[in-house]
Amino acid sequence: MAETSGTKAGSVTAHRLEGAASVYLRSAAEQSIDWYPWGTEPFELAERLHKPVLIDIGAVWCHWCHVMDEGTYSDPEVTRLLAEGFVAVKVDRDENPEVDRRFQRQVNALSGEGGWPLTAFATPEGEVFLGGTYFPPDDGMGRPGFRRVLREVARLYREEPEKVRQNASAIRGAIERMAEGRASHPTSTAHFVDRIRAAMNESYDPVHGGFGHAPKFPHAAGVEFLLLDAFAQGDARSGPRALETLHRMVDGGVFDQVGGGFHRYSVDEGWHIPHFEKMGADNGELLAALVEADRYESRPRFGEAIRTTVAWASTVLADPAGGFGASQDADNAPGDDGGYFTWSRNELKAALSPETAKLVVRAFGVGTDGRMPHDTDRNVLFRLLSDAELATDTHVSEATVRRSLEAAVQTLAEVRGRRAPPLVDRTPYADINGLFLRAFARASRQAGEPSWLATAQRAADRFLREGYSPEAGVLHRLGSAAVGGHGLLADQTQLALGLVELGGATLEAKYVTAARGLLDLVDREFSTDLGLYRDVAPRLYDGPKVGGVDSPAYPLEDTPNLSPNAAAAIALIRLSSLTGDEALRERAARLTGAMADRLGTAGLFAGGAAFAAAVLDLVPARVVVEGTSPESDGLARAAERAYHPNVWVFRGVPPPPFSLPEELGVGRTGSRALVCFGTRCLAPITEPAALGAAIRSGGRSPA
């Protein structure tokens, strides 16, 4: 009898996924498709059976992945066709980002498409020959039906093997040409920064803020670059455009006005209607950018968004044992599309008093641009009118408006809390946690909230205790040591970046030591002769080496999250200024130069690399606040709230390995602040306003 990949069509054979660590894989365990998890077994089976491999890559937070699972992969005919002609593999892109990166690249080279779900048809050697993204079961939505696709792919693989080989070869050639196009074109970092600034200005949306057209994604690294550029006096437009982008997002439906935190992206140009999943990586980066923006120009809406985003991450994503989860789903049930997050007029009227409901409808634009396209009775809340505008319209004070809205939002949060919530994936991944460490350390210092710093410390301590060793670096996810998880660049560089910020905030040497260890390991294990870091370390990587996963790849562009190479450069720069180790800065300069040589045309997607290049040209600032009096506390608050892209603030003389210029005289009694730019120190300062102005000057003499 012929060997098959499963049992009869329609039977539940997905038992392989029942014990998976991934929430996404476990959610597919009840499907009738005979799914295999990522590994060597399905490819070996496909070789024996002479069948192609279907690779489905998605995530638990992905709306269209749910649609395809609930419609396409639940279709009996699709199940039958897969059982007869394919070996099916299910991949969680959060659990295996290195797998996703390579198959995204291959499918994009073939079709120009990318994203999730990613649907790839591959040979038993792991080479893609056809692919796309979402497929409905039948023809529709401008896409071919998956039944027809499966029949044609099976026929092609069976009857035209030469065409399969040609397709695979064409994809390889396209990827090679893309690599050649990304070859080194030597340039100065100053010229690189100029090009990225110009590209960002060209793509800026002067009407709605942000960059490009719909769908519109947040680009936190790009926003931080523009703030730095304004500080460095690169372009007078940079600061206002960064601030306007964040303000439009915070007022928009892409920000959860009731529960805090940012949704993934906006489907329209005006930030009104989001794709509702909330990603840990996005929120970590946007929280850090908001803190920098609030330091650059304090705005009440920024402060509110910082507090509510911290609250969302601390309550919804955080594990009491320490660490942050990965995401909150967009949907709370099959067929849902934002129902948990949206409101009808009747729901608002039932929850609030008539007067308050009227205020909420006006404040949050109910019935205007936030109406859901598939159900216009449901509304995404966004700030249509400011407190000042509402106060003028209602003839009350802004303070009264603010109190009324705060109470209304609290009531709506309680009502929403009784709805069935979307699933939260609390899997603690190292790269995402690194972004949260950085953001919470910054936010705690800027807002003077020690509990936020304690939350970051619990996360860091858990990763250092359960997932880190000096010899192997940090695991991708906690609890994964038995199934692999070592050797991914983003985990090392982004956790190092977070640990540097945490070390500077707490003055605990263990965080600085671990960050230095991770960055040194990256230099040993991920370096290449291109001067860049590859995404997988050949010696450390312990995942299945199939599908070209161990082939070199160099993550340079923001996606739109900060690229691992840019994270490494920024971590090196910040650690150098914290410890006074110039060798770290020299390493950052070499890496940044190599990125600049290859990213000159990347535009907005090189925001992280441009930030690293620009901050290298700034003299770092170090501030020592002496004394323990209320006056000293006021100086410390002023220093923490003053914007400088590379500043460290210390209460008293820091211990090693934290560094100060040798000629800085400290230790006297009284309340004063001592500010140094590099090795040049200013006269002592005793007034908070003067201290803030000195830090913001960057050491430049007044004009």
| Of 500 and 143, more confident | 500
| Tens digits of residue pLDDT in 184-237 | 788 999 999 999 999 999 999 999 999 999 999 999 999 999 999 999 999 999
Using a cut of 0.85, tell me whether the model's pTM lies above it. Answer: yes
Look at residue 142 in the predicted model and tell me its pLDDT: 78
Look at residue 665 in the predicted model and tell me its pLDDT: 57
H or E stretch including 274? Answer: strand 274-275
Assess contact for 110 and 167: CB atoms under 8 A.
yes
Confidence at 423, pLDDT banded by 50, 70, 90: very high
Please name the amino acid found at residue 329. Answer: D
Look at residue 5 in the predicted model and tell me its pLDDT: 41
Average pLDDT over residues 109-126: 93
**Residue 89 Cα distances to 3, 7, 55, angstroms:** 18, 16, 5
Average pLDDT over residues 597-616: 95
Residue 382's SS3 state is coil
Please name the amino acid found at residue 590. Answer: R
| Of 566 and 334, more confident | 566
| Tens digits of residue pLDDT in 307-342 | 999 999 999 999 999 999 999 999 988 888 899 999
Phi/psi for 363 (5° steps) reads -65, -40
Whether the predicted pLDDT of 506 surpasses 90? yes
Tokens of 491: 């985990």
Average pLDDT of the residues of the chain:
93
Lookup result for tokens 């692919």: 131
Whether the predicted pLDDT of 703 surpasses 70? no
Confidence at 176, pLDDT banded by 50, 70, 90: confident
DSSP 422: P
Whether the predicted pLDDT of 296 surpasses 80? yes
Domain residue spans of the chain: 14-181, 200-316+325-413, 430-616, 621-697
Q: Given its phi and psi angles, is residue 580 left (phi above 0), alpha (psi -120 to 50 degrees) or beta? A: left
Minimum mean pLDDT range among 77-81, 306-310, 473-477, 601-605 = 601-605
Look at residue 140 in the predicted model and tell me its pLDDT: 78
Whether the predicted pLDDT of 658 surpasses 60? yes
Domain 14-181: give its CATH code: 3.40.30.10
| Tens digits of residue pLDDT in 3-41 | 334 444 344 444 799 989 999 999 999 899 999 999 999
Whether the predicted pLDDT of 652 surpasses 80? yes
Q: What CATH topology corresponds to 430-616? A: Glycosyltransferase (1.50.10)
Q: Tell me the C-alpha distance between 312 and 455, whole Å.
A: 13
Average pLDDT over residues 162-190: 85
Q: Tell me the C-alpha distance between 266 and 69, whole Å.
A: 23
Please name the amino acid found at residue 460. Answer: A
Look at residue 600 in the predicted model and tell me its pLDDT: 86
Residue 651's SS3 state is strand
Average pLDDT over residues 676-694: 96
Q: Tell me the C-alpha distance between 245 and 573, whole Å.
A: 26
Assess contact for 537 and 550: CB atoms under 8 A.
no
| 27 contacts: CB under 8 Å, gap ≥ 6 | 60, 69
DSSP 314: I
Please name the amino acid found at residue 582. Answer: E
Average pLDDT over residues 157-182: 86
| 153 contacts: CB under 8 Å, gap ≥ 6 | 52, 85, 86, 121, 130
Tokens of 488: 């991914």
Average pLDDT over residues 653-677: 81
Look at residue 663 in the predicted model and tell me its pLDDT: 58
